[in-house]
Amino acid sequence: MKTFNTLLLLIAGATSAAIVTSPALAQDAPHAAKKVATKKAAKKNAHTASEDGKEPDITGLQPTDYHCELGNKLTIYQNADDDQKIALRWNKHLHAMTRVSTTTGANRFEDAKKGLVWIGIPAKGMLLDSKKGQQLANECKSAEQMQKPEQKS
């Protein structure tokens, strides 16, 4: 078994030495690195272009006010025809948020740039800061949710 492991090490060493010393591969390496860097930059630019830091336009969107624990308040603006995006007003700022699929059926929306996550279930919602790993607002309920009695399991 020791001989087999030694043989594997020798083959791996020889292969890596051939790759490093191969003139054709050595010439392609900067090109490949440049190509990867270009793809990363394009992906980053596409990401920042969609989240350019401007507040979303809420004209024509339906607002829903939420009252949360500890006196916190937030407002969600939705378009009845688009369930993939919302605007969320928190601490006097509007945040564009995009739906993220879940396996639980909860409504989850994120503003990846700011690290905000809104999770809504039929009984309540909560706002999280994913960058700091903490809750910002919990037990958030709309007027409609406050009218419904909580179901006990």
pLDDT digits (tens, 9 = 90+) for 134-144: 999 999 999 99
Nearest residue to 77 (alpha-carbon basis) of 136, 69, 66: 66
Indicate whether 89 pLDDT > 80.
yes
pLDDT digits (tens, 9 = 90+) for 93-127: 999 999 999 999 999 999 999 999 999 999 999 99
Contact 65, 73 (CB under 8 A): yes
For residues 35 and 22, what is the distance between their CA atoms, to the nearest angstrom? 20
